[in-house]
């Protein structure tokens, strides 16, 4: 939040750069519903509680366009409207399309169940369900794999049963630390930059370079690209959790937008732009200062001797080692799929995000809290269920989409994947909850 003096400086057209220490969290699906007051008005259809969509080659995609403008056409950048719809990395683009569609699926079903509900009630209820559905997937499906379920229960991030819980602590300030977003860039080393595409019958189509789709959200709408990627993305495994990176990420990065761009070097540089503390100070913080990290030998419990030697060749003293360089050098943490410092930063953020959120979906006494029957349905949420509902012709999938297909996680028909039963939101007296 800018101070009055800062606002005066901005008003007088003097540009001053201020360091960002906390940003808004995306755990409320702000990439769909936006965070700035009034900005959601650009994407609401104001009919039936729906978000605006457009149909391109029989595919349904997000829109922020006026009636005579189409944002997903190849001329999107010329119209200027594409800045209001997702336009980033391909995985995020696809996920936003899915949760956007899922909002409208929820709204349409609620409208049939409760014909007396107005647009505002339908929209707010659909948004509430969509956000809770997303959080259930992220915290109980994705992060439990990355961080370890037992670890998350021990840290108090998730519950150990399916009941309500109230982690809210008014003394904890909300916000997203810059380190959390920065640490997520470590996952670049797990990214396979070539994606195989399949049709709805699981027939191989082609292999494409992911970098050619970055910052080109409109390309997903044409030539059944979204369908091919959606079927391939849950079949193909990620790259290994090691210290190597695909050449595309190290040489090309942004595809045709820039001839040469090293994403990993850019990741390292961003730590300097943000002015992060040295890696050793984060290790001190993560161990509650019970272990002092003052010399390279103090890292023996975290990384292989060869990695320590590499750091010594680049940095004169341990205090010079940058956060990302240290993280790259660490071994994976036991019981998790991330290095210890990544684990520490993510856990710290998740604990604060859960504790600071007055509207956290698991709270039984939050404003407009779910009933027991409704909460039971939210607990069914999974990425498999989401893809079966809105995932571009997917009719069969493995139950645990974040894990590879194999024994105990074989593909099955979507009719066997648990899905939300929205009859739990049927209002017997047709009264608005908002």
231-244 residue pLDDT tens: 888 888 776 777 77
What's the rounded Cα separation, in Å, for the pair 363 and 352? Answer: 15
Considering the chain, what is the average pLDDT of its residues? 83
Least confident of 84-98, 135-149, 157-171, 347-361: 84-98
Within 10 A of 415 (CB to CB), how many other CB atoms are there?
A: 9
User: How are beta strands 22-23 and 176-177 bridged, if at all?
Assistant: antiparallel
For residue 84, the model assigns a pLDDT of: 42
What's the rounded Cα separation, in Å, for the pair 286 and 429? Answer: 52
> What burial class does residue 183 get, using C-beta atoms within 10 Å of its C-beta: 0-12 exposed, 13-18 middle, 19+ buried?
buried
What's the rounded Cα separation, in Å, for the pair 340 and 303? Answer: 10
Residue closest to 357 by CA, chosen among 131, 189, 74, 20: 131
Is the four-CA dihedral 279, 264, 218, 207 of positive or negative sign? negative
Q: What is the dihedral of CA 65, 70, 71, 77, to 10 degrees?
A: -110
What's the rounded Cα separation, in Å, for the pair 430 and 115? Answer: 8
Q: Tell whether the model's pLDDT for residue 344 goes beyond 50.
A: yes
Q: Is 188 annotated as a binding residue?
A: yes
For residue 340, the model assigns a pLDDT of: 95
Binning pLDDT at 50, 70 and 90, where does residue 280 land?
Answer: very high
Task: Tell which wins on pLDDT, 13 or 256.
Answer: 256
Measuring CA to CA, how many Å separate 335 from each of 135, 200, 352?
22, 36, 22
Length of the chain: 434
For residue 114, the model assigns a pLDDT of: 95
> Helix or strand or coil: residue 61?
strand
What's the rounded Cα separation, in Å, for the pair 359 and 363? Answer: 7
| Alpha-helical regions (H) of 25-82 | 30-33, 76-79
- For the residues 141-164, what does the mean pLDDT come to? 93
Measuring CA to CA, how many Å separate 277 from each of 179, 212, 242, 324?
10, 34, 24, 11
408-434 residue pLDDT tens: 999 999 999 999 999 999 988 755 444
- For the residues 240-249, what does the mean pLDDT come to? 72
218-230 residue pLDDT tens: 778 888 888 888 8
Residue closest to 53 by CA, chosen among 86, 75, 12, 30: 86
The token duo for 240 is 């290994």
- Tell me which range, 135-144, 230-239, 390-399, is most confidently predicted by mean pLDDT: 135-144
Is the four-CA dihedral 283, 287, 288, 293 of positive or negative sign? negative
Residue closest to 213 by CA, chosen among 90, 59, 87: 90
Q: Tell whether the model's pLDDT for residue 86 goes beyond 60.
A: no
- For the residues 110-133, what does the mean pLDDT come to? 96
- Whose structure tokens read 């794999």? 145
For residue 188, the model assigns a pLDDT of: 78
For residue 18, the model assigns a pLDDT of: 53
Task: Tell which wins on pLDDT, 163 or 251.
Answer: 163
The token duo for 20 is 């960002």
- For the residues 389-402, what does the mean pLDDT come to? 91
Q: Tell whether the model's pLDDT for residue 42 goes beyond 90.
A: no
Task: Tell which wins on pLDDT, 431 or 167.
Answer: 167
Q: What is the dihedral of CA 25, 106, 213, 198, to 10 degrees?
A: 130
pTM of the model: 0.86
């Amino acid at each position: 939040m800018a101070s009055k003096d800062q606002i005066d400086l901005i008003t007088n057209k003097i540009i001053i750069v201020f360091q960002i220490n906390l940003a808004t969290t995306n755990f409320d699906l702000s990439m769909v519903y936006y965070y700035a007051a009034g900005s959601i008005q650009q994407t609401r259809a104001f009919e039936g509680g729906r978000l605006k969509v457009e149909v391109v080659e029989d595919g349904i995609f997000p829109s922020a366009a006026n009636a005579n403008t189409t944002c997903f056409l190849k001329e999107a950048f010329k119209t200027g409207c594409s800045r209001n719809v997702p336009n980033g990395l391909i995985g995020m683009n696809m996920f936003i399309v899915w949760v956007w569609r899922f909002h409208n699926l929820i709204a349409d079903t609620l409208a049939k169940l409760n014909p007396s509900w107005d647009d505002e009630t339908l929209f707010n209820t659909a948004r509430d369900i969509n956000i809770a559905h997303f959080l259930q997937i992220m915290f109980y499906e994705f992060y439990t794999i990355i961080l370890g379920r037992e670890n998350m229960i021990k840290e108090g991030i998730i519950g150990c049963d399916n009941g309500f819980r109230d982690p809210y602590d008014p003394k904890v300030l909300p916000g997203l630390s810059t380190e959390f977003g920065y640490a997520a860039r470590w996952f670049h080393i797990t990214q396979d930059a070539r994606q195989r595409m399949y049709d709805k019958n699981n027939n191989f189509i082609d292999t494409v370079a992911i970098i050619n789709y970055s910052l080109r959200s409109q390309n997903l709408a044409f030539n059944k690209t979204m369908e091919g990627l959606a079927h391939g993305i849950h079949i193909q495994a990620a790259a290994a959790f090691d210290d190597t990176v695909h050449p595309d990420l190290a040489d090309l990065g942004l595809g045709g937008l820039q001839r040469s761009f090293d994403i990993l070097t850019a990741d390292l540089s961003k730590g300097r732009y943000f002015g992060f503390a040295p890696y050793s100070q984060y290790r001190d913080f993560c161990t509650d200062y019970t272990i002092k990290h003052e010399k390279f030998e103090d890292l023996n419990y975290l990384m292989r001797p060869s990695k320590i030697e590499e750091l010594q060749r680049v940095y004169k003293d341990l205090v010079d080692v940058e956060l990302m360089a240290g993280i790259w050098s660490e071994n994976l943490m036991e019981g998790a799929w991330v290095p210890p410092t990544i684990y520490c930063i993510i856990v710290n953020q998740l604990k604060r995000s859960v504790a600071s959120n007055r509207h956290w979906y698991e709270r039984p006494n939050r404003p407009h809290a779910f009933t027991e029957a409704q909460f039971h349905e939210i607990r069914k949420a999974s990425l498999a269920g989401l893809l079966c509902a809105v995932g571009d012709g997917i009719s069969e999938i493995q139950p645990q989409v974040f894990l590879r297909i194999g024994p105990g996680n074989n593909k099955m028909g979507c009719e066997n994947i648990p899905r939300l039963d929205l009859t739990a939101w049927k209002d017997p007296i047709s009264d608005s909850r908002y």
